[in-house]
Amino acid sequence: MEGIKRKRLTSEGLEVGELPDIESDTKTLLKKIGPGLVWSAAAIGTGELILITRNSAMYGLRFAWMIVFLIFIKFFINYEVGRYTVLTGQPIMGGIAKASKILVFWFAFLPIAWQVITISTYCVNCATLLQWIFGGRGSLAFMATIIALLTGLILYFGRYDTLEKFCTIGTSFMTLCILISAIVFTPGKGYGELFLNIIMPKLPQNPQAWTDMMSLTGFVGAGCVGTIWYSYWLKEKGYGFGLNNNKKDEKGIDVAVIPGETPEEVRKGKGWMKMLRLDLGIGTILTLVVCLSFFLCGYAILQPRGLVPEGLKVVLVQAQIMVQLIGPIGEWIYVIVAIEVMFATYLAFQDGTSRMWDDASRILVPKLTTKYDKRKTYRFWVTIFTIQCLISLIVTLKDAQPLLLLQAQSILDGAYNLPILSVVVLIVNLKILPKIYKPTKWCVFWNIVGIVFFSIFAIFYTTTLV
């Protein structure tokens, strides 16, 4: 009886290409920064803007260690995803397909089970703020519908650069607002308490606290799908082989090309990896600064007043942070900035998901997609996403509990799916890439630490629910 043939991951059969060169002057490097900012904006619009402030308003600075650790460890997980895309010119979904097509379905389409509702939550939150600006006048459903259609049109006719500009503007203003507020209102003892809670981890004491802490795993620094999206944005920005590798296979999927091992190619490869570290490093530092600033504001401003963000008014409650800083006008400033951030987050969510679905459909059902170019199929998925959001708005507006929905998605996307993704990417990079470009021992070490951490906490949290 013939045994089952197992897929063996190797670099055999992959074409060796010539990496484009990258200038090392500061001006050129700064121009290439972008994907990390989009990734950071996606995280800020969900975890930091909504979940972080609520967490410190309820529990003080107890879970500061979790936030710092998550952002630190996700740098290394994202770095390995970026390594694959930069050095092959192929988004990470292509690498996942080399390991298993089942995993392609798992990462791309399984999340639809919870995304079908949560995707509209960002849209509704944005519409709630817009309604506030108009003095409560106007239908919330109408405004949410307009926002959903507008984002669809922007992505349908726009390009990656449009998304990057929206994310950069929103993230910059939000960082400025919340950082100043944190510095002004956090008492001296708050910084000492923050430091102690970072170096001396504390665990939750009841099931609800466990849920609130675990909900940080997905959205603080983005979760599994956000990490996958980062590879698409690197490709669109033209990092490494993403700049000159436009080869497609018969399915229309980007073909993986590996760099050579000559001194010149190694030099260029190291240059692109340096650029990746710079881009991801800036995005990570920005995320950490904003995250801790929101965390301190919830502790210093909202908790003493007994304000805990809940329901659709979550951002309006958070606006009291700016009211304390500069008076009533602060509420207007915060709400306007929050609208831009939420809108940018929704744009990033829709763009990343559409690209992921497009790639996954070409891998899983090539017969249905090979006769269309990627621009057309991308627009198709943008349309599907928009329709899906409009349908899910019915459920969200009828029984609006955005925090519960976001918490559920965050836990599934972070604690459960992210360690699986990390394992797969690490194996693919170690097997596919030439020796000189493989993950370093430190990268492997910190990825394993993250895998073990997420796995243990996911198992332990599951036992608290039983």
Q: In the chain, what are the domains?
A: 15-465 (1.20.1740.10)
Residue identified by tokens 């509420």 is 331
Q: At residue 247, does pLDDT exceed 90?
A: no
Contact assessment for residue 235 and residue 242, using Cβ atoms and an 8 Å cutoff:
yes
CA atoms within 13 A on the CB side of 172: 7
Q: At residue 256, does pLDDT exceed 60?
A: yes
Mean pLDDT of 44-63: 78
pLDDT value of residue 405? 63
pLDDT value of residue 2? 35
When comparing pLDDT for 126 and 369, which is higher?
126
Retrieve residue 347's tokens: 């744009």
Planar angle of CA 81, 82, 84, nearest 5 degrees: 70
Retrieve residue 251's tokens: 């399915």
- Reported confidence tier of residue 208, pLDDT bands at 50, 70, 90: confident
Q: At residue 402, does pLDDT exceed 70?
A: no
pLDDT value of residue 43? 76
Report the residue count for the chain: 466
pLDDT value of residue 103? 92
- Reported confidence tier of residue 284, pLDDT bands at 50, 70, 90: very high
Q: At residue 102, does pLDDT exceed 50?
A: yes
Q: How far apart are alpha carbons 43 and 418 in whole angstroms?
A: 15
Contact assessment for residue 107 and residue 421, using Cβ atoms and an 8 Å cutoff:
yes
* Contacting residues for 54 by C-beta, under 8 A, at least 6 apart: 212, 298, 308, 309, 310, 314, 403
pLDDT value of residue 4? 34
pLDDT value of residue 313? 60
pLDDT value of residue 3? 36
Q: At residue 27, does pLDDT exceed 80?
A: no
Mean pLDDT of 435-455: 93
* Contacting residues for 462 by C-beta, under 8 A, at least 6 apart: none
Q: How far apart are alpha carbons 418 and 226 in whole angstroms?
A: 10
Q: At residue 277, does pLDDT exceed 90?
A: yes
Least trusted range by pLDDT, from 182-196, 212-226, 405-419, 425-439: 405-419
pLDDT value of residue 89? 87
Mean pLDDT of 300-322: 68
Rounding to the nearest 10 degrees, give the CA dihedral for residues 417, 211, 37, 160.
60
Name the β-bridge partners of 258: 16
pLDDT value of residue 223? 81
pLDDT value of residue 244? 58
pLDDT value of residue 300? 84
Retrieve residue 453's tokens: 């951490």
- Reported confidence tier of residue 281, pLDDT bands at 50, 70, 90: very high
pLDDT value of residue 257? 78
- pLDDT tens for each residue of 144-162: 888 889 888 988 887 788 8
Query: What's the pTM value of the predicted model, to 2 decimals?
Result: 0.88
Retrieve residue 178's tokens: 């919340």
Mean pLDDT of 78-91: 93
- Reported confidence tier of residue 252, pLDDT bands at 50, 70, 90: low
Mean pLDDT of the chain: 81
Contact assessment for residue 131 and residue 366, using Cβ atoms and an 8 Å cutoff:
no
* Contacting residues for 267 by C-beta, under 8 A, at least 6 apart: none
Retrieve residue 345's tokens: 């987050």
Q: At residue 29, does pLDDT exceed 60?
A: yes
pLDDT value of residue 428? 93
% of the chain beyond a pLDDT of 90: 19
- Give the range with max mean pLDDT: 36-50, 51-65, 238-252: 51-65
- pLDDT tens for each residue of 172-197: 887 887 888 888 888 888 899 999 99
pLDDT value of residue 316? 66
- Euclidean distance between the first and the last CA atom of the chain, given in angstroms as a whole number: 43
Contact assessment for residue 405 and residue 437, using Cβ atoms and an 8 Å cutoff:
no
Least trusted range by pLDDT, from 67-76, 269-278, 451-460: 451-460
Closest C-alpha to 72, from 353, 300, 292: 292
pLDDT value of residue 83? 95
- pLDDT tens for each residue of 367-398: 776 777 888 888 999 998 888 888 877 766 66
- pLDDT tens for each residue of 337-369: 778 777 888 888 888 888 898 888 888 888 776
